[in-house]
Structure 1
Amino acid sequence: GITTTTPCVKSFRFTQFTRHLFVIVEILPLNSIKTCKNSPLESVLRCEILRTGTLRGHYLSTRKGRDILAFQNIPYAKPPIGELRFRSPQPPEPWNGVLDASKKSRICIQRNIFTFDENVTGDEDCLYLNVFTPRKNGNLDVMVYLHGGGWLAGTASNVGPQFLLDRDLVLVTVNYRLGPLGFLSTGDSVCPGNNGLKDQVAALRWVQDNIAAFGGNPGSVTLFGESAGGASTHYHMLSQASQGLFHKVISESGTALGLWAIAPNGSSKHQAMKVASLLDCPTEPSRALVSCLKRRDASDIIKTDTAFMQWNIDPTLTFKPVLERSVSKDDEIFLSAHPLKLIVNASAVPWMTGITSADGAFVASRVFGKNLIDDMNEKFEFVGPLIMHYDEISKSNQQIVTKKLSDFYLNGGSMNRGTVSQVVNMFTDSWFLSGASEAVKLHVDSDAAPVYYYYFDYRGTYSYSTLYGK
């Protein structure tokens, strides 16, 4: 542990377990950053002054045994509770004393339907991030990770620094609001939507303000994420609200052009009204609807997810990014137009995107694993549009698409244990490949910045397909 009587650490008490040494950092504007010149661990510890207060972190070890510094559960916005529910994130309040940043970050309230979890877990007070740094040298490249989970599940704690921090870089992982608490929209200025994405913007602004205190270079930030996190990174390239907050982007298995990545026009208002009706709230006007939902228990709001499911857990992604028509005077628009229109003026930063060869396995596994294949074969004209996200087109066009999918992937036959690879390919293409390929073509045509397109086909010892297959 460390004993200290001033913000600048002057005395230390070591034990044989040195990796549990607590590290104190204090937080102010970047132009006020200072270094404790008299620190006996000056090479790995500095007393930075940032904006909100003093942090106490701890040591972790990487895969190769390198000691790194971890600062976890750092607030980057006010808790989005009470009157702040359904509002854009607000700057965090300063704190007194030393904030313990050595505990695992809490998760945002959710029910993970992808793992068939029946329980609601997490907290509504969840706008926290984690910083991991070797602190070997200052001015290190920064990587900011946005987790996946369909904008309804997942957490910054799903990933850690054990591999990346074998290299000299600073890693930031971010929580953001999920499900209706992060993406409910009334389609007007009362609750325009996209609060989960606006949380991410707030976290990126926090990084710009504060990351130099942790040895990071705010002028070299790579934003990366997977699945819905990958689509989120792509959205930030398209949003004016995110301009200048990052310098490279990696969108893994998800782009803003994914069939699942944007709400159809007009659907968000109906979804908000349905949630309100389920919880005995007025459905109109929007102000009364939102005011009532602010008084409902957060877990009850999350539990409305089952009311939107029409087959098994589909459609899975009910609440997602929306076009914002108007916002209140204290808010800002995140998504002003459809991504197809915004790509022309996207951030001119290097972009890498791609998919894995079996991205669709997580969809196929629940169909085969829960013995739903016979039911899906029987109801494919109904289930196909739901599970592959073309249910918003006309019924006649749905029938045409369904027939073409069946002919192309299944030779007009049915799904069975002998067609597992074809079914995986069908879901991989519809969920991931189609959006990635279209986005890459448009970015290449714009010729604004380098584009890197990958296809990952290596199956290692550990794989999500094994997890979902069980």
Structure 2
Amino acid sequence: MKIKICFLLLFFQSFDFCFGSDNATYQESKKSRVRRIVGGYPAKMPPYDDPLVFINFAGRFAKVRGVLDFPHYVFRGLRFAEPPIKKERFQRPKQHFLKGDVDATRFPPPCIQPISGQNRVVGSEDCLFLNVFTPDLPIGTEGLPVVVWIHGGGFRYGSASQYGVRHLVGKRLIVVTIQYRLGSLGFLSTQSAELPGNAGFWDMVMAVRWVRNYIGYFGGNPYNIVVMGHGSGASSAMLMALNKVAKGYANGVIALSGTAVSNWAMDDDPNGVARELAETQGCPTTSALAMIKCLQSIPAQNIINADSQIQMQRVNSRGFMGAMSRSLGASPVVEGVHDGRSLPSGVEHEPFKQMSEGNIPNIPLFTGVTKEETKRAVNSVFKDEVLQSLQTKSEFLNKVLIQELQSFTAIGKESIIGSQNGLWKTLDSFKFGKYIDVAKNNVVEAFGKITEATADALFNLPAFLSVNLWSKSKAPTFLYSFDHIPKVSKAHYFLAGLPFVGNNSAQERSASHGEDLAFLFDAYTLEGEPLDLNGDFTEEDMQVRNVFVEAIASFAKHKKISFENKDLPSFSSSNNNFFQISSAPKIESNFRFCQMGLWAGLADRLQDAQCKVFNILDSELKNYQKQLFDVAGVPQKNLPKVPNVGIGGLTSHIGQNLGGIFGKK
């Protein structure tokens, strides 16, 4: 085994010690090596698999011991902030400085969170740690590019240690995976000076600040840091880039399946969450200060359990569209310009409003979606509820579905509050007639249309709006679509507990939310124990992994996307170019051209010849009221039961059992 280790020592110790060989050769090199000592005592020979990093920062000296996880080095469980416990609960993090002997050989506990389906919680409230993965120890040359990974999980689930990063580190990147407080412990807000919220967001900012300060000692370039995340982690990465305090911390943003303008990126009812949480714990609700003091004395596990109750209530009351498109508990909030404590705000403005007004940093952005973001949610997780809506709600597809989804989008919310940007507008839902049209009573086709509409409104539109607005800052801006369908679903290994994904989705093969993660990372448990899943990868899967990893590495290193010796053009509003990721990747244009024209209300697009199929501007569609399903009002006892199968099985079941209720067109 070829091993290379370099140690940088301080003061009178020898600092240029590098060797490479197997263990036998290494032992031989020890015998022949001549030690030259100038004063003091000779340094002890460190074990070849026990890397050390010596740090001198802010007047504090530290010796950090990591591990060799061949072929890279790992420094696990490095504390970046003081424990957020007792009186520090709900408060912004306080910076921690490394000093003394630091044992970085064990992964940290995850932030306390529930384990879905097991009625228990794991982790610790004292969880503000990060992990550093590097291909080399510092040897005095220019630092390597750095990727800071913010895990997803709907602000309630996930850890820094469940993502194996060897594929990215193999591209000579340093990867730092970070943790932040979850649920109400991280994001509870009364929108007041006593509790403005966003503590978990400030954890992320503090972690990236730590990376800027310390990463040079681990061989990284503190001036080439890309902040990268998935889902809620992606929206947080973009929020950080828009934050004034964090200006200059990141030199690029990678946002996978989430943006700052995604509807679930911001809490739409923070006071409601705080009130419900306090009531479940018997705490006062009339005084914010009294509420906080009471909640600070409650065991952390009780708060996590209460969060689960609130989430379940909201899933049940809001329906499947609300569960997919809105925050289900405490999450980031808009604080305003001042937080009431003379401190800078985490999120000053609604992200869509801020970006529409051109307040965007001049740093590169790479964002995108999976081709079928909501397919698993519609066809598996919420399948029974979707079918019930089709059966019991009059004009569900051509009225209820579209109108509700419109209200969830950034454009819809701007329209409601009367500050709509002039470029975007919401269309009458009946303009969507041809877009949502299906053969009468065709349930399978209806499921497909619901998948398409929810994916367009909740994922494709936010991605489109983000790159369209970001590109106007003249910074390199890139869009991708992950189109590959894996052999075996692995999303739930990374996003277990997230209602959108579910816990066991192996029956549904699709390019749904979270399926891209296995093509960048190896799956680990929350505590960092490996899960051997590579046997499920086909040769085609491996090809896709190479494409996706190379695209991420290219952006992190050079702030561009290279493909077959060609550079992907920066996104432009005229051609809407994007990178289609599959086993046969290619550069495409006109990303969801007509569909985005519909959801964003872009009249010039809707008049284009290629959008003629939708007949969007046909005035007769104003009166479009096609009854797509005529079973509304049929007693529930007379409706068929749908077995627990994927959409393929559902097709067969429909053909056998729904004919008596659903007529022919």
TM-score (norm 1): 0.80
Sort the Cα spacing of 1:443 and 1:59 in 2 relative to 1 into closer, same or farther, 3 A: same
Which residue is 2:271 aligned to? 269
Which residue is 2:476 aligned to? 450
Q: Are 2:117 and 1:105 equivalent residues in the alignment? A: no
Which residue is 1:159 aligned to? 163
Q: Are 2:390 and 1:377 equivalent residues in the alignment? A: yes
> C-alpha distance in 1, partners of 2:258/2:10?
43
User: 1:457 offset after TM fit, Å?
Assistant: 0.6
> C-alpha distance in 1, partners of 2:238/2:440?
37
Which residue is 2:216 aligned to? 212
> C-alpha distance in 2, partners of 1:87/1:146?
20
Q: Are 2:94 and 1:90 equivalent residues in the alignment? A: yes
> C-alpha distance in 2, partners of 1:307/1:233?
26
User: 1:256 offset after TM fit, Å?
Assistant: 0.7
> C-alpha distance in 2, partners of 1:185/1:270?
9
Deviates more, 1:44-53 or 1:208-217: 44-53
Q: Are 2:361 and 1:347 equivalent residues in the alignment? A: yes
TM-score (norm 2): 0.58
Which residue is 2:350 aligned to? 338
Corresponding letter in the other structure for 1:433? N
Corresponding letter in the other structure for 2:126? D
Instruction: For residues 251-285 of structure 1, give each alpha carbon's deviation from its aligned partner in whole angstroms, at most 9, with x where no partner exists.
Output: 11100111211223xx2122211211111100021
The 5-angstrom pairing of residues 207-356 of structure 1 reads 207-264=211-268, 267-305=269-307, 306-308=309-311, 309-312=313-316, 314=323, 317-325=328-336, 326-327=338-339, 329=341, 331-343=343-355, 344-356=358-370
> C-alpha distance in 2, partners of 1:465/1:107?
19
Instruction: For residues 333-388 of structure 1, give each alpha carbon's deviation from its aligned partner in whole angstroms, at most 9, with x where no partner exists.
Output: 1111111232212211011111110221342254356x444334356669969995
Sort the Cα spacing of 1:352 and 1:82 in 2 relative to 1 into closer, same or farther, 3 A: same
> C-alpha distance in 1, partners of 2:404/2:149?
27
> C-alpha distance in 1, partners of 2:147/2:462?
24
Larger radius of gyration: 2
Aligned residue for 1:322, secondary structure, equals coil
Sort the Cα spacing of 1:163 and 1:85 in 2 relative to 1 into closer, same or farther, 3 A: same
Instruction: For residues 37-91 of structure 1, give each alpha carbon's deviation from its aligned partner in whole angstroms, at most 9, with x where no partner exists.
Output: 99887xx865333456332210113xxxxx2110011110011110010001111
> C-alpha distance in 1, partners of 2:194/2:149?
30
> C-alpha distance in 1, partners of 2:368/2:445?
27
> C-alpha distance in 2, partners of 1:404/1:278?
45
> C-alpha distance in 1, partners of 2:275/2:251?
39
The 5-angstrom pairing of residues 351-366 of structure 1 reads 351-366=365-380
Sort the Cα spacing of 1:276 and 1:236 in 2 relative to 1 into closer, same or farther, 3 A: same
User: 1:295 offset after TM fit, Å?
Assistant: 0.8
Unaligned runs of 5+ in 1: 19-35, 62-66
Aligned residue for 1:222, secondary structure, equals strand
User: 1:93 offset after TM fit, Å?
Assistant: 5.7
Aligned residue for 1:260, secondary structure, equals helix
The answer to whether the 8 Å contact 1:48/1:213 transfers is: yes
Corresponding letter in the other structure for 1:460? P
Corresponding letter in the other structure for 1:375? Q
User: 1:410 offset after TM fit, Å?
Assistant: 5.8
> C-alpha distance in 2, partners of 1:154/1:413?
43
The answer to whether the 8 Å contact 1:149/1:227 transfers is: yes
Sort the Cα spacing of 1:310 and 1:207 in 2 relative to 1 into closer, same or farther, 3 A: closer
1:411 to 438, 456, 461: 438
User: 1:310 offset after TM fit, Å?
Assistant: 3.7
User: 1:453 offset after TM fit, Å?
Assistant: 1.0
Total equivalences in the alignment: 432
> C-alpha distance in 2, partners of 1:410/1:180?
42
Aligned residue for 2:114, secondary structure, equals coil
User: Sequence identity of aligned pairs in percent?
Assistant: 29
User: 1:426 offset after TM fit, Å?
Assistant: 2.8
Q: Are 2:468 and 1:441 equivalent residues in the alignment? A: yes
